[in-house]
Amino acid sequence: MKTIGHLINGTAKADAGRSQDVYNPSTGAVEKQVLLASKATVEEAIAAAQAAFPAWRNTPAQKRARIMFRFKELLEANADEICRLIGEEHGKISHDAMGELSRGIENVEYACGAPELLKGEHSRNVGPAIDSWSEFQPLGVVAGITPFNFPAMVPLWMYPMAIACGNTFVLKPSERDPSSTLFIAELLMEAGLPAGVLNVVNGDKEAVDTLLQDPRVQAVSFVGSTPIAEYIYTQASANGKRCQALGGAKNHAIVMPDADMDNAVSALTGAAFGSSGERCMALSVAVAVGDEAADALVSKMKAQMQSLKVGAFSDSSNDFGPVITRQHQEKVVGFINSAQEQGAEIVVDGRSPSVSGYENGFFVGGTLIDRVTPEMTCYQEEIFGPVLLVVRVDTMQQAMDLIDDHEYGNGTCIFTRDGEAARYFSDNILVGMVGINVPLPVPVAYHSFGGWKRSLFGDLHAYGPDAVRFYTRRKTITQRWPSAGVREGAQFAFPS
């Protein structure tokens, strides 16, 4: 059985100690073991990053960026292998894994622009013959802690920019699907990154707590569930670190009566069931304004869902694959059960999908639940499965209140053709990422990703321009030269 270790100071590292099973969710089989780093191992990684910092910080930004250019080439050349590794451990179908990887590569492309992005602000004559400028200097060692659902993309949100800014990095990826993450990190070493600039440690809470407590770690980026995000943010802050911690979501789409309904249904299908709904930007609630819209939506969704195909990652004709674990599968089914018990209507039921040949896989089929109300458990919690809830309201304002009353504020969307509705919605809704006829309004890599309310803790969003600010520290220099000796009598004033 294959053992997955760490990457520290440029070399593979396998420490003795604890380890954990890594499943193939499509088959339900355990095929690999991942080592769980001890405190000492994590500290070794931090020390390597600390040692690599001075030289890396002084490497011109353009040289740092050129390693990112080369990294992009290697990611593209190795895309199939990366997608295979993702599929094997996460269960994602290859087209979905490729989509994830593409989004990750976009972030590498953005990091290639570091020389431009790191420009400081220069002011001549802030006073008589006094100049002042602000530089954005790297922080030192920074850490990233990333979730299972995007093992390639989310790490690529973080370390390419952190490193391009001159920091060194310790990454703790999800222990459920670590292989693609590790493989990608090795590609960056191959691209020419000096040893110690990027380190990867696999692990669990012990590794996380070490990162949160070590005074050499200057900043922590996290993506995961809200309770953990809150823990990370509180701990990192109490230890004086800067922190951005992205948490959970419950993304609503408002379907207005004037919406292009075929377009909405097609968009919702991909956004609700893609990647088994295990996305923090998955659209999990459709709020239909008026029963007419609701009826049309439900009947068209039901029809469309007949052709949805769930199955093993290895068959690229599948629409989506298994969920991540047996426990998670049971949890998702439990939410559907609770909806039924609490009075909602199960329009399409995915609790017992038949995936022939993969009877032990962790599959849940696409599920559509109508007449959901805000009190129901399935509405209040993040399901993180291929389940779309339909809530019916009378007015757009009611739909917006529903969204604003939910604890999460990650993404949302409105389907309409009316400019005024779109503008009122996007202006006022308390959500960080807003789509207008765009079901998954994930910002492109040159904007930034972040929710509002309890979907994000911190003041700067992930990737894009905000990442440059998060991974650098402002230094402001004010300069004047007090004597005019050299200039006024140059040839006399100096010793020969």
Site for a second copy in 329-348 (CB under 8 A): none
- Nearest Cα to 102, choosing from 149, 153, 66, 67? 153
If binding is defined by CB under 8 A, does position 190 make contact with a second copy? no
Q: Is the Cβ–Cβ distance between 385 and 369 less than 8 Å?
A: no
Dmax (CA) of the chain: 96
- Cα(239)–Cα(241) distance, rounded to whole angstroms? 6
If binding is defined by CB under 8 A, does position 29 make contact with a second copy? no
SS3 483: coil
Mark residues 289-318: x for contact with a second copy by CB under 8 A, - for none. Answer: xxxxx-------------------------
Q: Is the Cβ–Cβ distance between 249 and 411 less than 8 Å?
A: yes
Q: Which two tokens stand for residue 394?
A: 């009378």
Count of residues engaged in binding a second copy, rule: CB under 8 A: 123
According to CB under 8 A, which one of 2, 125, 352, 356 is a site residue for a second copy?
125
Q: Which two tokens stand for residue 205?
A: 């809470």
Taking CB under 8 A as the binding criterion, the range among 199-207, 274-282, 356-364, 437-445 that sits at the site for a second copy is 437-445
Nearer to a second copy, 138 or 385 (CB): 138
Taking CB under 8 A as the binding criterion, the range among 39-47, 108-116, 152-160, 182-190 that sits at the site for a second copy is 108-116
According to CB under 8 A, which one of 186, 206, 209, 230 is a site residue for a second copy?
230
According to CB under 8 A, which one of 20, 33, 237, 316 is a site residue for a second copy?
237
Site for a second copy in 137-156 (CB under 8 A): 137
Q: Is the Cβ–Cβ distance between 121 and 64 less than 8 Å?
A: no
According to CB under 8 A, which one of 22, 34, 459, 467 is a site residue for a second copy?
459
According to CB under 8 A, which one of 3, 119, 299, 357 is a site residue for a second copy?
119
If binding is defined by CB under 8 A, does position 117 make contact with a second copy? yes
DSSP state of 481: -
According to CB under 8 A, which one of 6, 90, 172, 461 is a site residue for a second copy?
461
If binding is defined by CB under 8 A, does position 240 make contact with a second copy? yes
If binding is defined by CB under 8 A, does position 118 make contact with a second copy? yes
Least separation in angstroms between CB 289 and a second copy: 5
- Cα(71)–Cα(226) distance, rounded to whole angstroms? 32
According to CB under 8 A, which one of 80, 122, 354, 401 is a site residue for a second copy?
122
Nearer to a second copy, 86 or 117 (CB): 117
Q: Which two tokens stand for residue 483?
A: 């004597």
∠ at Cα 163 (160, 165), nearest 5°? 110
- Cα(31)–Cα(176) distance, rounded to whole angstroms? 12
If binding is defined by CB under 8 A, does position 75 make contact with a second copy? no
Nearer to a second copy, 364 or 445 (CB): 445
Q: H or E segment at 279? A: none
Cα–Cα distances in angstroms (integers) from residue 256 to residues 259, 347, 387, in the given order = 5, 21, 21
If binding is defined by CB under 8 A, does position 395 make contact with a second copy? yes
Phi-psi region of 343 (alpha: psi -120 to 50; beta: other; left: phi over 0): left
If binding is defined by CB under 8 A, does position 484 make contact with a second copy? yes
Q: 112, 165, 243, 280: which one is catalytic? A: 280
According to CB under 8 A, which one of 257, 338, 360, 371 is a site residue for a second copy?
257
Instruction: Output the 3-class SS for 166-207.
Output: CCEEEEECCCCCCHHHHHHHHHHHHCCCCCCCEEECCCCHHH
According to CB under 8 A, which one of 28, 131, 314, 346 is a site residue for a second copy?
131
If binding is defined by CB under 8 A, does position 2 make contact with a second copy? no
If binding is defined by CB under 8 A, does position 427 make contact with a second copy? yes
- Cα(455)–Cα(118) distance, rounded to whole angstroms? 28
Q: H or E segment at 132? A: strand 130-138
Least separation in angstroms between CB 397 and a second copy: 7
Least separation in angstroms between CB 474 and a second copy: 5
SS3 144: strand
Nearer to a second copy, 201 or 403 (CB): 403
Active site residue 280: yes
- Cα(378)–Cα(383) distance, rounded to whole angstroms? 7
Taking CB under 8 A as the binding criterion, the range among 133-141, 157-165, 324-332, 373-381 that sits at the site for a second copy is 133-141
- Nearest Cα to 411, choosing from 271, 232, 258? 271
If binding is defined by CB under 8 A, does position 474 make contact with a second copy? yes
Catalytic residues: 280
